[in-house]
Every structure is written in structure tokens, then in C-alpha cells.
Amino acid sequence: AQSVTQPDIHITVSEGASLELRCNYSYGATPYLFWYVQSPGQGLQLLLKYFSGDTLVQGIKGFEAEFKRSQSSFNLRKPSVHWSDAAEYFCAVGAMDSNYQLIWGAGTKLIIKP
Amino acid sequence: SAVISQKPSRDICQRGTSLTIQCQVDSQVTMMFWYRQQPGQSLTLIATANQGSEATYESGFVIDKFPISRPNLTFSTLTVSNLSPEDSSIYLCSVEDRGYRAYEQYFGPGTRLTVT
């Protein structure tokens, strides 16, 4: 069965520092990969997605993610975080034999230190 | 991307009552999903709602507790029945237009339910 692992429950980063949030998946083929962000009291917003092609994808708000097939990973990065990036980040996977549903990671809460 | 609204944004309900949540989309979409997000948790899919057919429920969710309607391609409702404090959660609807953006889901702002 497919699964998504976000190993870090929460991460604390100083404002202006770089960020990397980890996501690993378990699936036999290349899935569709997504990162969503949920700000406090808000719904989920799609940050970026990978379907095929270039393994480095750019998203909104200055985020990027890199798909590494050999590591079954899709880590999210940002070179310099802002206080407004404090939120919960969810990695999700879409696999063809999951009836087009998304499989969700547990989420990583990003805390920004001033 | 589709713009999704939900009503109500939050509610406080008594044990034993029901709450109906509305999800409205600004364009016609094929797939709509209802999720539950318990405090501090990830998303759990309740059901998938296609227009013109019965909703498909995930394991652990039943129609008697979570009846869903999908009368057209822009609207759906989720009712949470016979409320208990364990139903206190955020309920989210999402949509996916199964075109070339398969699996890409867009979310409403959520409905925060507190059961007392």
C-alpha cells in the first residue's frame, strides 16, 4: 500500500534562514507529488506539484521541491524563510491505483524564530 | 484554479444534533471530496462525491452518520449527524477536475465544528 512519511512533526527555523522539509513516499511507480500549506485557521493551499519532467519544481511563495526517485523523496525547500511562512505543511501523493485519491503525510509544523 | 467556499465557517453544536456543511465551487467540477481534520492531525478522507451517483465512503465512515448530497457539478453538502464531542474537527471540501490536472485538489477554507 502507498504511504507518505513526513519524519519531522515540527521544525523551528530562524527568520531568514534556509528551510528543508522532508517527505518520503512508498509506491512502486512514480506518483504524482504535491506540497500543500495550511496557515492557522485556513484551508489548504497548493504550493507546488510534480507530475513528470524536470525533477526540480518551482512553486508559489518562493518554494521549490526536488523529486529524487532513488530516494523516494520529494523534499520542500526555501532559501530564506519569512515569519509569514509559519504554518503546517503537508506532503501528498497521488497514485493511479488509489482511485485518484491523495495519500497524505502527517504534516510538519514550521515555527519561525524572530 | 477553482474557488471554493464553505458555509458555515464555524459552528458550535449540541450533542445529539446535526450540522450540514455546504460547499460551493465557482466552476463545474467532476470530483468533490470531503475530509475531516481532527485537532493537530492530518487529513482523513470521509468520502468522494461524484455528481449523479452515490458518494463513496472510506473505511470507518458510514452514510447514516455522514450523509452527502451532490445535486450538481458546483455544489455539495455534508451532514454530520448525531453529534458527539468526538466529531469536533475541521471539515474540508476539495475539488478535482479530472482533466490533465488529475489528482490536483483545491480546498475550501474549512468548517470548524465544536460539539459541546
SS (H, E, C) B52-87: CCCCEECCCCCCCCCCEEEEECCEEEEEECCCCHHH
Q: What digits encode the pLDDT tens for the residues B19-70?
A: 999 999 999 988 899 999 998 899 999 999 988 788 999 999 999 999 999 9
- Residue A5 contacts by C-beta under 8 Å, 6 or more apart in sequence? A23, A24, A25, A26, A105, A106
Nearest CB neighbour to A107, from listed B42, B98, B112: B42
CB contact under 8 A, B104 and A49: yes
The three grid cell numbers given for residue B39, joined into one nine-digit string: 485537532
* Nearest-neighbour CA in chain A from B108: distance (Å): 6
Interchain CB distance below 8 Å, A42 and B104 = no
User: pLDDT > 90: what percent of chain A?
Assistant: 75
Strands (E), chain A: 3-5, 10-14, 19-21, 24-26, 32-38, 44-50, 56-58, 64-68, 73-78, 87-94, 102-104, 108-113
Determine the distance from the C-alpha atom of residue B48 to the mean position of all C-alpha atoms in its chain, rounded to a whole number: 9
Residue whose C-alpha is closest to residue A52's, from A36, A69, A75: A69
For residues B80 and B22, give the distance between their C-alpha atoms in angstroms, rounded to a whole number. 12
CA dist., res. A75 & res. A4, Å (int): 12
Interchain CB distance below 8 Å, B31 and A100: yes
Give the cell for residue A73: 523523496
Nearest CA distance, A104 vs chain B (angstrom) = 7
CA angle B56–A48–A107, rounded 5-degree value: 65
Q: Is the pLDDT of residue B100 over 60?
A: no
pLDDT for position B99: 60
Chain B within 8 Å of A42 (Cβ-Cβ)? yes
The confidence band for A114, taking pLDDT boundaries of 50, 70 and 90, is confident
Q: Which residues contact B96 (CB under 8 A, 6 or more apart)?
A: A100, B29, B30, B31, B32, B33, B102, B103, B104, B105, B106
User: CB distance A42–B108 less than 8 Å?
Assistant: no
All three cell numbers of B90, joined, read: 475541521
Q: Looking at the partner chain, which of B4, B102, B106 has a beta carbon nearest the beta carbon of A100?
A: B102
Distance of CA A76 to the CA centre of its chain: 5
What is chain A's length?
114
pLDDT at A97 over 80: no
**Residue B89, C-beta contacts closer than 8 angstroms, at least 6 positions apart:** B36, B37, B38, B39, B113
Mean pLDDT, residues B83-89? 97
- Strands B10-13 and B111-115, how do they pair? parallel
Q: Which residue has the higher pLDDT, A96 or B72?
A: B72
Q: What are phi and psi of A71, to 5 degrees?
A: -105, 0
